Chain A
Amino acid sequence: MRTTYIVTQLLICTALMSALSLAYLGISRYLREKQSARARYAAWWLLGFGFLLPFKPHLPKAPVVMHYYGYSAVISTPISSHTAYTHNGRLTLLLAVWAAGAIITGVLLIHRQMRFSRSVRRLRRPAGAAAQTMTGLLCMEMEIDRNVPVYVLPVISTPMLGGLLRPAIYLPAQKYDNDELRLILKHELTHLMHGDLWCKLLWMGARTVHWFNPLMPMLMRRMEQDCEFACDESVMRGESHETAAVYCSSILNTAMHHCAGRVQAPILATNFSGSRDMLKARMNAIFSRGGKRNFWLLTAAVGIVTLLTGSLLVMDQRRHSAYVYAEDSEPAVTAMPATTSMPVMTTMTAISAETTAIKEVSMPAHTTETIPAVTAPMPVTENVPAMTTVFVGADGVVYAVTAYGSYTETQPAGTSLYSFNP
């Protein structure tokens, strides 16, 4: 129905959220050494929601108001059904392209995920008793109130956590000594505790909605990096310098195997390595345990701005509803070609989703000839036009009568948005 509304909200959302994400990336890069990874990662949840939900609540007063004259432009000169059609067509096409892209992206992601899960179910085998017992103990220690099975999956090169509803840990077919195994299991269980798979799902949803936004893959990667850093930070809490060394060497081992195997990580699984500089940064962070600030204020600011993106930039709602919804109707205005001296309106189609009732509007006294032109029935509320009728007055000027909840208003179309002057 409200093609324009959906399209603009989507574009506004994508633009503002991208700007916010980039600004956040800049600030957190500046704070890198000082900010705790957990706090840095927390903002990605908020940003993910901000992207996923393009329709956010409007505040009563928006800082930036965009007046939409698109509709009047449609109906104003030259009056021809083509104008209305073209405008309508472009927006609808845009919306259709977006929807098609979103559906394709979504289906591909789901399909890939399903194939992945199916192969995993077939290829996995339960891990040895040592790993199972160790996981059980870690779960108790970390107060994870569920049974997390451990499997060996020979086709992967990096340990991972998989499964949103029934999470399980998957290990490559590789020997680990006990210290290393404990840290790997703790790492994956920390992912589980942090709900990182859900964050990934959230971003996959956001990516589906904003498939056309070229920044999304990069943002998602940054989110995943911060996710790993946050995980490391939690794993290392209360561990010794020696353990940090073991942990780092385990990450390097994994990276080496990963490098040799080159099995890409799947979409809904969190895993365990990174490229050269990233690895170095990661190991550095692991060694410099503690002593970092959260800067929760920054995270809160991200949340507030995310919420505000719904209202930061809105369409002028009151005017908006006074307009004839030309883009949603069939040819909203069917008229003689612009060459005729006086446009003769014949069709009266103007659609609004909330159509409730068509109110009678009495014509002004000086009307000699009334040509019902465009009727836009609207919900009857104060200050929101219930119905607009356009007619040609005796003086040859096109008038627009707008019925509000309790009164009607008549003005020459030249002063209003209905510029029908022949």
Chain B
Amino acid sequence: MELKKLPDAEFEIMRTIWRMTEPVTSAMLNAQLRQTSPAALWKPQTVLTMLTRLEGKGYLRSEKHGKEREYYVLVPQEEYLALEAENFRQRFAGGRFSGLVKALCDTDDLTQNDIDDLRRWLEERSRK
């Protein structure tokens, strides 16, 4: 299944889970969230919804043991962040928006030769 980019709230849940040792129950997760981000005021019901959603997206799997449901990580942190990084590179590497928002340096026309050239120039200039 192709991984979808996570919205902020779901990412926050995943980030917390990645730091914990498996298996994770929602009670453990709630306790951890209270500790790590006390300002966010996560409601247990919201956390449960997030977990279900993340399971649906293929980030987690769960097993039911008695009353408690235990969650296991399917996508490790490195894998997800690699996806984010790839996404970032595509988006900000002069792709779709480059015409609309082009920043300072047009290094598009800069070649290795130019740089070697400039380096020689710099060496000369430094000696003066």
Which residues of chain A have a CB within 8 Å of any CB of chain B?
105, 108-109, 112, 115-116, 118-119, 122-123, 154-155, 158, 217, 221, 224-225, 227-228, 241-242, 244-245, 248-249, 252, 255-256, 258-259, 262-267, 269-271, 273-276, 278-280, 283-284, 287
Contact = CB atoms under 8 A, between A and B. Distances in A.
Interface stretch (B22-30, B47-55, B58-66, B116-124): B116-124
B84 A119 contact: yes
A265 B115 contact: no
B31 interface: no
A-B pairs with lowest CB-CB distance, top 7? A265-B103, A245-B126, A224-B104, A264-B94, A276-B114, A273-B105, A119-B88
Interface residues of B, number: 36
B81 interface: yes
Contact of B107 (A248, A262, A270): A262
Q: Binding site of A, secondary structure by majority: helix, strand, loop or mixed?
A: helix
Given A228-B104, A274-B107, A248 B93 contact: no
A287 B103 contact: no
Nearest to A157: B107
B86 to A, nearest CB: 9
Interface of B: 8, 11, 81, 84-85, 87-89, 91-94, 97-98, 100-112, 114-115, 117-119, 121-122, 125-126
B88 A155 contact: yes
A105 B99 CA distance: 12
Q: Binding site of B, secondary structure by majority: helix, strand, loop or mixed?
A: helix
A409 to B, nearest CB: 53
A112 B97 CA distance: 9
Contacts of A105: 100
A96 B119 CA distance: 52
A353 B119 CA distance: 65
Given A221-B104, A224-B104, A259-B115, A276 B109 contact: yes
Contact of B91 (A115, A225, A256): A115
A245 B123 CA distance: 8
27 contacts: A108-B100, A109-B100, A109-B101, A118-B8, A123-B84, A155-B85, A155-B88, A155-B89, A224-B103, A227-B104, A228-B104, A245-B126, A248-B126, A249-B119, A252-B118, A252-B122, A255-B105, A256-B112, A262-B93, A263-B92, A263-B93, A264-B94, A265-B103, A273-B107, A275-B109, A276-B118, A283-B121
Contacts of A256: 112, 115
A249 to B, nearest CB: 6
Contacts of B92: 116, 263-266
A119 B87 contact: yes
Given A256-B115, A263-B89, A123 B107 contact: no
Given A123-B88, A249-B122, A283-B122, A262 B94 contact: yes
Contacts of B11: 122
Given A245-B122, A249-B122, A123 B110 contact: no
